[in-house]
Structure 1
Amino acid sequence: MWTRALAMMLFVAGAALLGVGGASAQQGVWNIITRPMFQSMLSHRGDSGCQGAFYTYDAFIEAASKFPGFGTTGDEQTRRRELAAFFGQTSHETTGGWATAPGGPFAWGYCRVKEQNPTDPPYYGRGPIQLTHEYNYRLAGQALNLNLVGNPDMVASDPVVAFKTAIWFWMTPQSPKPSCHAVMTGAWTPSATDRAAGRLPGYGLTSNIINGGLECGKGQSTDGAKDRGGYYKRYCDMLRVGYGDNVPCKDQKPYGG
């Protein structure tokens, strides 16, 4: 029986020879997020007190291959910055870090699989993006052809599904919000209303998309927004890419606010 790792190795090799998959093998996420890089970025995910050993590199690569534009859009710097942003946001959502944590507070992404204090059972946060609320489980399930409303715990029991839901959320606009992918790849142009609200391209807008109502537009950075920014900057440094403009969201009015 083939293992998932062997199947993925053959997929990558085939892509290199044939140039398949919606983007060339030279632009594949595996060329930026290599296995050693993944392990280094998320080195504490399997430590005592964390459940993040659930999140495997092979599951990430398999899930990412189903979204051809993810981490493959634009030039090298754009691709690296998008992946730093994705892991920055998902690491905040799953963090197990604290101020004096070994390696620093931003070395503890992907520690959690399930929301620690569920507020919306049974549709509480699960997976890298901490998918929450029935409507998100319904929309993600429809897009992925999975019954996530009937079996929401699939997001916490199958690591490929977990990563797919996170990447689906990242790639999918929910009007009036653009997708995080469009923001980080330069495909989104702010309207006059957005500009008046301070909503400009950059990592800060992805924070606004994900949790702007609680974290953005306060005139100063909240703890949550600071944590998101800290993870993002760490990964940008590791991936050797600049942070870009508008990293914080403190001056951005939240959507619907």
Structure 2
Amino acid sequence: MGMVRAAWFLLLLALLAAADARRQKGGETACDKGWECSGSRFCCNETITDYFKAYQFEELFAKRNNSLAHAAGFWDYKAFITAAALYEPRGFGTTGGREMSMKEVAAFLGHVGAKTSCGYSLADGGSLAWGLCYNHEMSPSQSYCDDSNELYRCAEGVEYYGRGALPVYWNYNYGIVGKGIKQDLLNHPELLEQNATLAFEAAIWRWMTPMKRKQPSAHDAFVGNWKPTKKDTLSKSRELAFEHMMTSL
């Protein structure tokens, strides 16, 4: 799975770099007046829509609306951008200058593409073209209800199988993510397979939020806000932060 995520990351990075080259050749200027320029440390940073356009989203997830895709018609660029805008003031895709911002969005969507792909090496367009094929687990092996969790108790008749852009599993994780995005996902986990904007929002919230005590968020680890100690380096905490974020929910 790590190689697949890396391939998605490199593909999107190539798309972004090509678009950036065309943009500079066309004489467009970066950050004329900026945004959030009232006491924000991200003042005059570009937003994601400045360097990641709808056509790039279409190229990256070229087969998501194919008749064979299981979530055809569900995912779109507008849903991603609407969700991302909520976290741009916190630094998602707006931290560390243009190159770092592009790399972060590429890394995030690389994880999304790998987690939701139904492609394979011989598939039409190749495996990378089939990201966002799913919006929920197709054949759950269980209900993912942990009755021992007293803080986030299972709702009667509700199943907590994987849903979303970075699939969420188990009642306690739906409770945690729901609290983070201010939605009652514990009682209504189906929202993540009914509303693409919420599905992206939940995924970005996970990316921006530490998923384990004493570990950084994937965002902070990626952009360098978190600096590993010698002990962290020896324990490979940076790698663990990404891996735990991807597998714990």
TM-score by structure 2 length?
A: 0.71
* Counterpart residue identity of residue 182, structure 1: D
Query: Is contact 1:89-1:207 (8 Å) kept?
Result: no
Q: Pairwise mapping of residues 46-195 of structure 1 onto structure 2 (< 5 A)?
A: 46-50=65-69, 51-67=71-87, 68=89, 69-121=91-143, 122-174=159-211, 175-195=213-233
Count of aligned residue pairs for this structure pair: 196
Query: Is contact 2:215-2:237 (8 Å) kept?
Result: no
* Counterpart residue identity of residue 234, structure 2: A
Q: Which of 40, 55, 58 is matched with 2:59 structurally?
A: 40
CA distance in 2, matches of 1:166, 1:84: 14
Structure 1 residues 205-253: Cα deviation after superposition (integer angstroms, max 9, x where no partner): 52353138xxxxxxxxxxxxxxxxxxxxxxxxxxxxxxxxxxxxxxxxx
Query: Is contact 1:71-1:83 (8 Å) kept?
Result: yes
Query: Is contact 1:131-1:137 (8 Å) kept?
Result: yes
* Counterpart residue identity of residue 177, structure 1: Q
Structure 2 unpaired stretches of 5+: 1-30, 144-158
Which structure has the larger Rg? 2
Structure 1 residues 127-181: Cα deviation after superposition (integer angstroms, max 9, x where no partner): 1101112122111211221111010000110111111101001100022332111
* Counterpart residue identity of residue 169, structure 2: T
Q: Percent identity?
A: 31
* 2:57 paired with 1:19: no
CA distance in 2, matches of 1:210, 1:183: 14
- Alignment CA distance shift 1:102-1:145 (3 Å): same
* Counterpart residue identity of residue 207, structure 2: W
CA RMSD after TM alignment? 2.3
- Alignment CA distance shift 1:138-1:31 (3 Å): same
Structure 1 unpaired stretches of 5+: 1-14, 213-257
List structure 1 runs of 4+ shifted beyond 6 angstroms.
Answer: 15-18
* Counterpart residue identity of residue 160, structure 2: Y
Structure 1 residues 183-221: Cα deviation after superposition (integer angstroms, max 9, x where no partner): 1111122233322223446xx852353138xxxxxxxxx
